[in-house]
Amino acid sequence: MLLIIGLILAFIMSINMGGNDAANPTSPAVGAGVLNIRRALMIFGIFTVAGAGLQGFMVMKTIGKGIVPEIDVLGAISIIIAANIWILFASMRGMAISTTHSIISGVIGFGIIKYTISGINASVLGTVALSWVISPLCSLALAFILYRWLISFIARHGEDLGKKEKYMKLLLVGSLCLGAYSFGANDVANATGVYITITSKLGNIPDFTTMFMLAVFAAVGIVIGGIVIGPKVIETLAFRVTRLDLNSALSASLSNALVVYLFTTLPYVLFGFGLPISTSYAAVGAIIGAGLAQSRTAISKAVAAKLVSFWVITIPGSALLTIAVYLLLRAFIQV
């Protein structure tokens, strides 16, 4: 019964994730006027499900079994409840926070109260934390470089600009597809990764099959959340951080898609676990990088500062909230 309740909460979590994170791959195409929000979300839905189903297991393994030895059903429910509260709070204010940080911070909070600090896998957690810093910096730098290269290329080959713009728009839509796929592969673990051990044990199902089922389950909720809640956050990233033209949008979109895909895939190939990076931070970093390359005054410092403040609060806030929920549930429920 607790598992069923937990999975219902995980589905709600995936809806909240979709509401907050659908903006990550879609906002450049929307901001540049290449796609409207409705069409962008349709593409987002298709490729997010594909990424979750084909590669979602890579990061689910990290969250479910990498940071702490095991997450029991009460811990999983506590982590999901705490993350749901924080993510919904941020989404209603149009803030693109990290659902990844919300979940990982919750796992840390659970690990402290259940296993003490010594029970947390410091090497895996350290690698994950390092990726949180590196990934937005990588996307910022890559977007900056791509934008400058595009401007230089257009200056050298300015003839038939209309034809070039057509191809650039197609590339922008293609990068949205890759970005949504990469998002599904990386972020689907945030909703259901904490349930791998529990579901596998109770159903006597192999881990890989469990991860696939949980990934598809969460992806459906993400798509629903993107459609219902997502437009408000999309508008923030698409129009309020900086004004995106075709060049800056393509630079930001390609940068975000490549960074998320590489951080998901390469560590899994090399070390056996994908890195749960913040796709929100990667997306915002890419948009800021493209905006800085376009003009140092193109960035709204007020909006950027507000986003960063929400990012900073997420880590201690989610951890403490998880601890509070876990202690409250444990006082009333014996598992």
Asked if residues 132 and 279 have their Cβ atoms less than 8 Å apart, the reply is: no
Q: Which backbone phi and psi does 276 adopt, to 5 degrees?
A: -80, 80
| Band of pLDDT at residue 219, cut at 50, 70 and 90 | very high
End-to-end CA distance of the chain: 11
Asked if residues 221 and 191 have their Cβ atoms less than 8 Å apart, the reply is: yes
pLDDT in tens, 242-259: 677 899 899 999 999 999
Residue 120 is predicted with a pLDDT of 87
Average pLDDT over residues 294-303: 66
| Band of pLDDT at residue 46, cut at 50, 70 and 90 | very high
Provide DSSP, 282-302: HHHHHHHHHHHHH-TT-S-HH
Residue 203 is predicted with a pLDDT of 65
d(CA 21, CA 97): 8
Average pLDDT over residues 105-119: 89
d(CA 29, CA 47): 15
Average pLDDT over residues 275-286: 85
Predicted TM-score (pTM) of the model is: 0.84
Provide DSSP, 80-110: HHHHHHHHHHHHTTT----HHHHHHHHHHHH
Tokens 């589905």, located at residue: 11
Percent of residues in the chain assigned helix, strand, coil, to nearest 5: 85, 0, 15
Q: Is the pLDDT of residue 96 over 70?
A: no
Picking from 19, 4, 3, the residue whose alpha carbon sits closest to that of residue 83 is: 19
Q: Which backbone phi and psi does 274 adopt, to 5 degrees?
A: -75, 155
Residue 261 is predicted with a pLDDT of 96
Asked if residues 32 and 249 have their Cβ atoms less than 8 Å apart, the reply is: yes
Q: Is the pLDDT of residue 205 over 70?
A: no
pLDDT in tens, 137-189: 999 999 999 999 988 888 787 667 677 888 899 999 999 999 999 999 998 88
Q: Is the pLDDT of residue 298 over 60?
A: no
Task: Say if residue 137 is exposed, middle or buried (CB neighbours under 10 Å; 0-12, 13-18, 19+).
Answer: middle
pLDDT averaged over the chain?
A: 85
Query: Which residues, 6+ apart, have CB-to-CB distance to 154 below 8 Å?
Result: 161, 164, 247
Average pLDDT over residues 53-62: 86
Which one of 127-136, 198-207, 300-309 scores highest in mean pLDDT? 127-136
Average pLDDT over residues 67-90: 84
Picking from 89, 40, 51, the residue whose alpha carbon sits closest to that of residue 261 is: 51
- Whether the CA torsion 87, 130, 179, 270 is positive or negative: it is negative
Residue 254 is predicted with a pLDDT of 95
d(CA 43, CA 331): 45
d(CA 77, CA 3): 8
Q: Is the pLDDT of residue 334 over 70?
A: no
Q: How far is CA 4 from the centre of its chain?
A: 25
Fill in the DSSP letter of residue 193: G
Residue 59 is predicted with a pLDDT of 87
d(CA 234, CA 199): 34
Q: Is the pLDDT of residue 323 over 80?
A: yes
Residue 237 is predicted with a pLDDT of 77
d(CA 106, CA 97): 15
Residue 64 is predicted with a pLDDT of 67
Higher-confidence residue of 69 and 177: namely 177
